[in-house]
Chain A
Amino acid sequence: MSPWKNVSVLRKLVQLGAFLFLVYGGSLTGYYLEDKLSGALPALSCAYDMQGADLCTLIPFQHQMDHRLGEAIAGGGNLMLGLMPTLITLATFLILFAVLNKAFCGWICPLGTFQELLHNLGQKLGLQRVESLPSATVQRIRPVKWLILLLLVFGLPLLAGIGWVNHDLGDPFCKICPSRILTTLANAESTELYVDSASSSTLVLSILANLLFGVMITLALTVRQPFCRICPMLALHAVFRKLGMPRLVKHAVPRCDRCGLCAKACPMDIREIHSEMQKRDVTFEDCTLCGRCVEFCPDKEVLQLRYLGFPVFSADPAYFKQRKQAQRHWENTTLLDRRKSGTGKAGITPP
């Protein structure tokens, strides 16, 4: 299969371009926050990265909860005024989000790309990898991202602004976010890899941040997208996914019952793509619109990526055949030539 026809290869190129731009593109956009593209990016491109081209929307949200809304509540001020900056950030986020929907995760996010590359490395090192996490595990993990969004992005910062918890908890998600450590390290800055003994809150959060970063690195070698599964941005995307123009659409056929290749291909282990037989819009809450399920669906047009209702990439038996072969070749080529290792058998792990 020509690499230029392989959607996973094309996606990887887009991801690498986005990574380079978002992590190092500050020289093109400018140094100051006003110079950055949006200030409300729906992906974890970190504000701590001084060379970055944009910053994720979670940091202004935390900041506004703490310093605007929280302080307005505490001071008995005008709540609408306190909420206004958040509404402006949300509107900016939504304008961008409408264009790519959850594809910000599958195609743009530097942290998502990093985890995928690590998983590719695991494959090339011939490590045994998890094909799919057990359904029960996936179900147990899913609420965590909502908890993090509600508690760390909105709840604690708001309480810090009101004055009920200390200001070290004004930006708790940033304090544990792996993108902060990754993007600064990518710029040869070790300033974010620290344990902060300023207070018990900073001590706990900074230890947690480094542990999480370490866990993510080695776990991503064997499990696909480990951090994404608990990422609050994924939850935020889930809230607004009906507003996005790209969608994943399914026309279920009876054969779906016996197949399930789409679910195996999914890096987020969304089994509902396989089991859903009624709904047309299958952009589920954990979907990153990466399109792998469409690539590995063997039935014509059963799964489609659509933009404003127009199909842009559809499942196709001929594509499926070639893609499967390409995948087998990819799986069998490892740096350490440990051909029997890896998941391999369904031939549907990355690229």
Chain B
Amino acid sequence: MHNSVSAAGAMLLLALALTAPQPGAQSGALQNDNHTPLAAAGQAHSHRRGAMKLLLENAEGAQINLWKPDLTRLPLTIEHGIVTLPATGVDNYHALVIERDWGYLHETLIRYLYLHGKPSGHSTSELTAAEKSSFEIVPDPVPREHQHYRSDQQWRFQVRFKGAPVAHLPVELLSSYGSRLSAVSDERGLVELRLPDDFPQIETGRRDRRGAEFTLSAELSKGGITYQTRLYAEYRVNPSHWHSLELGILAGGIGMLAGGLIGRLAVRSSR
């Protein structure tokens, strides 16, 4: 692990955790777990169109902006450590960007949130391409609309400073179950990480609807200023724990045999 990243733990930091104003909303406690590309939206994003609340700690002096899919910004305020995300009325990913500038230290926290409303008509690639903070870790890509990060899946991220990729920079992943992973960005500022499969007490063959958080963090010094950035995201249990490929192949094989038989019968009866 890179020293400067771990050293950040001792510095002023914002802590972000999503509150669960409604059961099963954006917290770890998920109501349902269907990995259908669209149907999952109903659970993951709960199809809620109302406001959403977020918990923010040590946030004095922080600037909070909610980036909409069309790249317009909605400034938000904190009250008693709670940020209320208003309903924006548009569908698709939004980015919650929290920045704090201490002169010698610039902190950034970003979280991509799927909010519901009318079709936005904008691709998430516009939101990821936009420079939302001077130093940011950008998912490349964000899980497609209505999909999720899952444990034991490989995902790619890009580290950017003032919109340009940062090569050879250590990036660290920390999960809410305590797993730590680190990687170094390549020439294009890209890092690939396999999300930890660290949910405790998983029972093979049983659906597990839990979700947990991971953060990706990096630190960079430029012109006497230290830049710290964190990307927050939720990940969920990989359905491979209750999906069996072997049984799938077996069922497919039985189907093929049956199809062959039906075909033979059909040939015979058509003659």
A residues at B contact (CB < 8 Å): 30-35, 47-48, 50, 55, 59-60, 62-63, 66-67, 71, 88, 128-134, 137, 167-168, 170-171, 174-175, 181, 190-191, 193-199, 206-207, 210-223, 226
Q: With an 8 A cutoff between CB atoms, is B189 at the interface?
A: no
CB distance from B151 to the nearest CB of A (A): 14
Can you list 27 contacts pairing A with B, beta carbon distance less than 8 Å? A31-B144, A32-B124, A32-B142, A34-B145, A50-B144, A63-B41, A63-B42, A67-B47, A134-B270, A167-B34, A167-B42, A168-B34, A170-B36, A171-B38, A171-B39, A175-B36, A193-B248, A197-B206, A197-B242, A197-B244, A198-B33, A206-B248, A207-B247, A214-B255, A215-B258, A216-B255, A217-B255
A218 in contact with B263 (CB, 8 Å): yes
Given A174-B36, A197-B205, A34-B263 contact (CB < 8 Å): no
Given A34-B124, A168-B34, A134-B269 contact (CB < 8 Å): yes
With a cutoff of 8 Å between Cβ atoms, the chain A residues found around residue B256 in the complex are: 214-215, 217-218
Contact with A along B6-43 (1 / 0, CB 8 A): 00000000000000000000000000111011110111
Given A133-B270, A210-B251, A217-B259 contact (CB < 8 Å): yes
Q: With an 8 A cutoff between CB atoms, is B254 at the interface?
A: yes
Known: A218-B258, A218-B263. 7 other contacts (CB 8 A): A35-B123, A130-B263, A170-B34, A213-B255, A217-B259, A219-B263, A226-B259
A34 in contact with B120 (CB, 8 Å): yes
> Considering the complex, which residues of chain B in the window 141-161 have a beta carbon less than 8 Å from any beta carbon of chain A?
141-142, 144-146
CB distance from B211 to the nearest CB of A (A): 16
CB distance from A256 to the nearest CB of B (A): 23
CB distance from A158 to the nearest CB of B (A): 13
Q: Which of A31, A193, A212 contacts B141 (CB 8 A)?
A: A31
Q: With an 8 A cutoff between CB atoms, is B73 at the interface?
A: no
CA distance A193 to B123 in the complex (A): 29
CA distance A217 to B144 in the complex (A): 30
Q: With an 8 A cutoff between CB atoms, is B262 at the interface?
A: yes
Q: With an 8 A cutoff between CB atoms, is B194 at the interface?
A: no
CA distance A223 to B267 in the complex (A): 8
B262 in contact with A215 (CB, 8 Å): yes
With a cutoff of 8 Å between Cβ atoms, the chain B residues found around residue A207 in the complex are: 247, 251
B258 in contact with A211 (CB, 8 Å): yes
With a cutoff of 8 Å between Cβ atoms, the chain A residues found around residue B266 in the complex are: 130, 133, 137, 219, 222-223
With a cutoff of 8 Å between Cβ atoms, the chain A residues found around residue B267 in the complex are: 128-130, 222
Contact with A along B226-262 (1 / 0, CB 8 A): 0000000000000100111101110111111111101
CA distance A55 to B146 in the complex (A): 14
Q: With an 8 A cutoff between CB atoms, is B121 at the interface?
A: yes
Number of B interface residues at 8 Å Cβ cutoff, please give it: 52
B47 in contact with A48 (CB, 8 Å): no
CB distance from B250 to the nearest CB of A (A): 8
CA distance A207 to B123 in the complex (A): 35
A170 in contact with B42 (CB, 8 Å): yes
With a cutoff of 8 Å between Cβ atoms, the chain B residues found around residue A71 in the complex are: 47
Closest to A181 in B: B252
CB distance from B90 to the nearest CB of A (A): 11
Q: With an 8 A cutoff between CB atoms, is B207 at the interface?
A: yes
CA distance A171 to B37 in the complex (A): 10
Closest to B126 in A: A34
B145 in contact with A33 (CB, 8 Å): yes
Q: Which of A34, A35, A67 contacts B41 (CB 8 A)?
A: A67
CB distance from B93 to the nearest CB of A (A): 8
Closest to A161 in B: B42
Q: With an 8 A cutoff between CB atoms, is B221 at the interface?
A: no
CB distance from A348 to the nearest CB of B (A): 14
With a cutoff of 8 Å between Cβ atoms, the chain B residues found around residue A47 in the complex are: 37-38
Given A34-B122, A171-B34, A222-B263, A196-B242 contact (CB < 8 Å): yes
Closest to B39 in A: A171
Given A195-B251, A214-B253, A219-B259, A32-B144 contact (CB < 8 Å): yes
Q: With an 8 A cutoff between CB atoms, is B125 at the interface?
A: yes
CB distance from B112 to the nearest CB of A (A): 12
B255 in contact with A223 (CB, 8 Å): no
Q: With an 8 A cutoff between CB atoms, is B92 at the interface?
A: yes
CA distance A48 to B205 in the complex (A): 22
Closest to B270 in A: A130
CB distance from B92 to the nearest CB of A (A): 7
A35 in contact with B242 (CB, 8 Å): no
